[in-house]
Structure 1
Amino acid sequence: MDFFAPAQIAGYAAFVLGMAAFLQTSDRPLKLLNGLQCIAYAIHFFMLGNIPAMATAIVSAARSFLALRTTSPLLAVVVVAILLAIGSQVVTHWTGWLPVAASSFGTLAVFLMRGIPMRLVMLACCLMWLANNVLSGSIGGTLLEGAIAVAMTSTIVRMVRARRAAAAA
């Protein structure tokens, strides 16, 4: 495995953007940086030949940018329907459903949830992407999702502590 292959470099770019995204305690910068991360991921997975992951990353980027403007439940349903339709066309093995499921649940989270609940669902999605990345041979993606899981858990803990401190004040 070439650690400096162009595909892996794109994965490292996704890593940097993802880390910046999931360290955010404010929802807006999280969604913006997550959209940028998804673009880098789409390029990365295209280069690795993982078409289901590439396709869902493209839809996820659009989803994250749209979620900056609206929280429409109808739009969330439309995006999930698009993800499932794409999955039905490009998935050839059960593992191809991991990014489709992660992106679908992530869509529901960014459109319909806020704060800690949104991050808990996104943590579950992160674990699905982690499995996908290990199976795809994605170095940057595997590092990214592992680090995001740690960062997101830390952010959730910080948010819970801040909520408790505010309630006690």
Structure 2
Amino acid sequence: MSATGSDPFSLAQLLGYAAFVVGITAFWQRDDRRLRYFVVALSLTYVVHFSLLGNPAAAAGAGISAVRSWLSIFTRSPWVAAAVVAANIGFGAAVVTHWQQLLPLAGSVVGTLAMFFLDGIALRVTLLFGTSLWLTNNILSGSIGGAALETVIGLTNAVTIVRMTIARRRMQTAGEPPQPGGRVSG
């Protein structure tokens, strides 16, 4: 962690707090498309935050997450997903100097697979695993807002998973077909 990161009111930490607000908003979304838009904003905030904290691997992982989340709004192409995973591996090879720096890059790969291949509850469960990787990274990086964010994202995402599961069961009981895009009513 850089000296800037140890001051809870440094620009680096303030950006972590901003990421906290954006991230909470993201994971309250039950609509997959809106979730993806907010994850783009969260990831871009994280790029600057981790750059200022002196964690280039986390900044690279967040940058790749922003691009992947944006692309996943418009395509579900396995080729695009493969290119994003390859970019993760390439950036990882270029910037990782310590095993702990693999955590955000692995979190980005997990997120890529989730964003391109999953919807609804499965999307959120997989993102929950990625959240655990980012949480560990953020604690090790000294990111106050980031650690708080990933903790609350995990809890918020878990609550949303439960809400979506309950709504799905209600719809199945009522004989309603599931809505496209992973959106559920209720």
How far apart are residue 161 of structure 1 and its match?
0.2
Between the two proteins, what is the percent identity of the paired residues?
Answer: 47
| 2:46 is the counterpart of 1:41 | yes
CA distance in 1, matches of 2:64, 2:169: 36
1:2-17 mapped onto 2 (5 Å cutoff): 2-17=7-22
How far apart are residue 18 of structure 1 and its match?
0.5
CA distance in 2, matches of 1:62, 1:15: 19
1:135 is matched by which residue type in structure 2? Answer: L
Given candidates 130, 133, 138, the residue that maps to 1:133 is 138
Q: Give SS of 2:92's match.
A: helix
CA distance in 1, matches of 2:40, 2:55: 19
Given candidates 128, 131, 141, the residue that maps to 1:123 is 128
CA distance in 2, matches of 1:84, 1:5: 31
How far apart are residue 141 of structure 1 and its match?
0.1
Shifted more, 64-73 versus 133-142: the winner is 64-73
Corresponding residue for residue 152 of structure 1? 157
1:5-84 mapped onto 2 (5 Å cutoff): 5-84=10-89
Q: 4+ residue runs of structure 1 moved beyond 6 angstroms?
A: none
Q: Give SS of 1:25's match.
A: coil
1:158-169 mapped onto 2 (5 Å cutoff): 158-169=163-174
CA distance in 1, matches of 2:98, 2:75: 34
TM-score scaled to structure 2, two decimals?
Answer: 0.90
CA distance in 1, matches of 2:19, 2:88: 21
Corresponding residue for residue 143 of structure 1? 148
CA distance in 2, matches of 1:72, 1:4: 42
Q: Deviations over 1:43-74 (max 9, x none)?
A: 00000000000011111101111111111111
| 2:103 is the counterpart of 1:98 | yes
2:135 is matched by which residue type in structure 1? Answer: L
How far apart are residue 35 of structure 1 and its match?
0.4
How far apart are residue 2 of structure 1 and its match?
1.6
CA distance in 2, matches of 1:43, 1:19: 18
How far apart are residue 17 of structure 1 and its match?
0.7
How far apart are residue 88 of structure 1 and its match?
0.9
Q: Which runs of 5+ in 1 are unaligned?
A: none
TM-score scaled to structure 1, two decimals?
Answer: 0.99
2:101 is matched by which residue type in structure 1? Answer: G
How far apart are residue 89 of structure 1 and its match?
1.0
